[in-house]
Amino acid sequence: MAARRGFGKRDAGRAAGENAGLHRFAVFTACATLLLIVAGGLVTSTESGLSVPDWPLSYGRLMPPMVGGIFYEHGHRMIATTVGLLTVLLAIWLARREPRAWVRRLGYAALAAVVAQGVLGGLTVLFLLPTAISVAHACLAQTFFCLVVTLALATSPRWRDGGIAEASAVSRIGAAAVAAIFLQLLIGAVMRHDKAGLAIPDFPLAFGRVVPDITSFAVAIHYAHRVWAVVVAGMVIACLVAAVRSRRPGLARTGVGLALLVVVQILLGGATVLTRKAVPIATAHVATGALLLATALALTLGARRIPLARAGGRGAAEAVPPPRGAMAWK
Amino acid sequence: MLKRSLLLFLLVPALALSLTACGGKDEDAEADEDATPAAKSAAAAPAGGTAPAAAPATGGATLTGKVTFTGGSPAKETIKMDADAFCKSAHSAPVYTEEAVVNANGTLDWVLVYVKDVQGKFPAPTTAVTLDQRGCQYHPHVFGLQAGQDLKIINSDGTLHNIHALPKVNAEFNIGQPFPKMETIKKFDKPEVPVRFKCDVHKWMGAYAGVFTHPFFATTSDQGTFEIKNLPPGTYTVEAWHEKYGTQTSSVTVSGTETKTVDFGFKG
């Protein structure tokens, strides 16, 4: 608290430097988290999840020989530990230097999420990869990624120097797209951990038809993943149209990026089936899913921020003065 | 304040690491408790192509037979052991997968043959069945044992293995054997065919077990033959199971101490 009270006494240059450092650190943590998601995807793709049967140690040691499946499983644990430590540091940094209470709270939430994620990772090993725990582990990974991406955005100079924009088509459709992508990641996690990735062996058709006979849960969840992918693609197109119409170049660029990602993601999904779940393809599919979610989130959050410099121009009409609750959303 | 926070940040994980390192010693101790004395290995059934002798002492009929294979012999698949330098150096000659091994005489290796629906109670033998991890392969590749019988799992390699049993009826387990000569005893309580074993460290390692309430089972030898002894009089269904080619059944009636022949044929 003393540090926050003293925050105003610092000269502007030093404060700006610290803010830039905090932002860079938050971005670094987000990148490390994406790497962690890739490492987690590799563990599942190579079916190495149980190559280390104990937890928190690995074969009773901190560093087992990195042979065979252990390379992936223990490598995942090492990256996870690093991300955990980065998150601890980020939360402390935010607690000491971040004036906005909601950002500090988001840092604490990220810390709680990464601890819970570590525990879930351990439980999924000790209980021999039960689908429920493995799916929870996969989904919390995406939630944690969203938290650190939000922190990276909220600590950016553009965000700090911006004002609040009214809810718009971009923010509304973007929020819906975030929810839809998250649901798709949930369905994908169930499909992956239930080993239903090849339950429908052909692509783009399903058993040579548009609508296959649903003969098992595996076929049902696999087909649901494909159907919902179409819904997600539709929402992403809607996001793109809204972003372009907003006449905000930053949003339009993010919208284009989102659309490109969804195209890549659908191609990777098809390639995953056609290559019989080739490890690099299946893992890239997981990583692109996370990137898709983060980009939709960035678009949605970005739509609610507007540069203050534009307050006198076209943006004035959509900028909202923040008298009440301004500190909660600054 | 930032310095104090950094100091705290460094100290807390260091303390946590030292605590978990202490915990590691305890876990090793637990592993040792799980391991059995080496002396037990003397009583273990020999690892090999045939099932351990687990039949009653005397009496009963004998079933013999062979399992032939017709159709194109499956191509031999070389196992690449590049993932672990120890495994790679353990073999001077190429090592092939054991998923489908057709013997030189046209018979099929690694077929588990067993009698179904046997009435009566047959106590589990006191000798253990051994599953050895040697040269980064399981020995034997297919075997049978009785419910309640000890399964002794040995690591004869200079590298670590995890042993992951994937039964559907019995309890699944996954244990680590990080040190050479480690031994672990496990049991299966209920009859089940097959129970798959795999090593998640070395993806190529796989084995199968059949768990029975009786001792009337055998695995085909490298000549494709099997022998089941001391079968009580009666009419039985005999089943042959292969991991790739599925099952075949045959009916047989035995009496006294006679010997009956039951042959099976699998198609590729």
Nearest 5 degrees, angle CA B201-CA B205-CA B211?
115
**Could you give the CA distance from residue B98 to residue B222 in angstroms, rounded to a whole number?**
12
Question: Residue B48 above 50 pLDDT?
Answer: no
* CATH number for the domain that contains residue B238: 2.60.40.420
ipTM, 2 dp: 0.81
In a domain? residue B20: no
**Nearest CB to A64; choose among B2, B21, B160:** B160
| Percent share of chain B, pLDDT over 90 | 75
**Chain B residues with CB-CB distance to A47 below 8 A:** 200, 203
In a domain? residue B25: no
Q: Mean pLDDT over all residues of chain A?
A: 91
The number of C-beta contacts closer than 8 angstroms across A and B is 93
**Could you give the CA distance from residue A251 to residue A207 in angstroms, rounded to a whole number?**
40
**Chain A residues with CB-CB distance to B173 below 8 A:** 128
Number of domains in chain B: 1
Q: Which two tokens stand for residue A206?
A: 């399903």
**Does the beta-carbon distance from B17 to A62 stay under 8 Å?**
yes
Question: Residue A146 above 80 pLDDT?
Answer: yes
Question: What's the pLDDT score for residue B268?
Answer: 83
Distance of CA A96 to the CA centre of its chain: 25
pLDDT tens digit string along A273-324?
999 999 999 999 999 999 999 999 999 999 999 877 654 444 444 444 443 3
Whether the link from the prior residue into A56 is cis, omega within 30° of 0, is: yes
In what helix (H) or strand (E) does residue A292 lie, and over which residues does it extend?
Answer: helix A279-303
Task: State the pairing for strand pair B151-155/B129-134.
Answer: parallel
pLDDT tens digit string along B190-238?
999 999 999 999 999 999 999 999 999 999 999 999 999 999 999 999 9
Mutate to test the interface with B, among A1, A52, A115 (most CBs of B within 10 A): A52
Give me the domain span that covers residue B211: 35-267
Q: Are A303 and A174 in contact (CB under 8 A)?
A: yes
Dump strand ranges (E) for B82-172.
112-116, 129-134, 137-139, 142-146, 151-155, 161-166
Q: Are B52 and B143 in contact (CB under 8 A)?
A: yes
**Nearest CB to B201; choose among A67, A92, A96:** A67
Question: What's the pLDDT score for residue A19?
Answer: 85
